[in-house]
């Protein structure tokens, strides 16, 4: 965890990351951190949507529907993937900042965008099939 030590310059985790390049402008590091947190919150929203699909289903008192269950699980897994990818991206960006190389584009953003669009269409179809 974020523990105090005598020499902050070494023993910073992950070592693989802090072993390369040199310290970037602190503002960039902080901006990268906030971007990571925004990704994590996005992941959280995906998971909340997954749980919400199931909770609404339970509240309506309808039986379990394999389609709806798979939609919920899909959203939850997307959330898990998104949070792991958030950390990976934070590392990648921090490394790019430290080595002064160009920042890579977010690989997950288009997948997430189109994927959410498809999930929205799927949810709409489910709604129409199951009636209002």
Tokens (6 digits) for 48: 């909340």
Task: Using CB under 8 A, pick the residue from 19, 20, 67, 84 that binds another protein.
Answer: 84
Residue 8 or 132 with smaller CB distance to another protein: 8
Minimum gap (Å) between residue 120 Cβ and another protein: 19
Of the candidate residues 62, 69, 99, 130, the single one contacting another protein (CB under 8 A)? 69
Q: How far is the CB of 5 from another protein (least distance, A)?
A: 10
Binding status of residue 91 toward another protein by CB under 8 A:
yes
Cβ neighbors of 78 (< 8 A, separation 6 or more) are 46, 50, 112, 115, 119
**Pair 53, 72: CB distance under 8 Å:** yes
Phi/psi of residue 58, nearest 5 degrees:
-65, -40
C-alpha span between 127 and 28 (Å, rounded): 44
* Beta carbons of 29 and 98 less than 8 angstroms apart: no
Contacts with another protein by CB under 8 A lie at 1-4, 8-9, 12-14, 17-18, 23, 26-27, 29-31, 33-34, 36-38, 40-41, 43-44, 47-48, 50-51, 54-55, 58, 64, 69, 72-73, 76-77, 79-80, 83-84, 86-87, 90-91, 94
């Amino acid at each position: 965890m974020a523990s105090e030590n005598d020499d902050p310059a070494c023993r910073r985790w992950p070592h693989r990351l802090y072993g390369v390049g040199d310290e970037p402008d602190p503002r960039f590091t902080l901006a990268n951190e906030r971007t990571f947190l925004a990704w994590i919150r996005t992941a959280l929203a995906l998971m909340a949507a997954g749980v919400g699909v199931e909770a609404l289903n339970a509240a309506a008192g309808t039986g379990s529907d394999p389609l709806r269950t798979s939609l919920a699980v899909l959203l939850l897994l997307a959330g898990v993937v998104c949070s792991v990818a958030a950390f990976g991206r934070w590392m990648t960006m921090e490394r790019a900042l430290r080595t002064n190389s160009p920042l890579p584009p977010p690989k997950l953003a288009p997948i997430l965008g189109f994927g959410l669009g498809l999930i929205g269409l799927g949810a709409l179809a489910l709604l129409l099939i199951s009636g209002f």
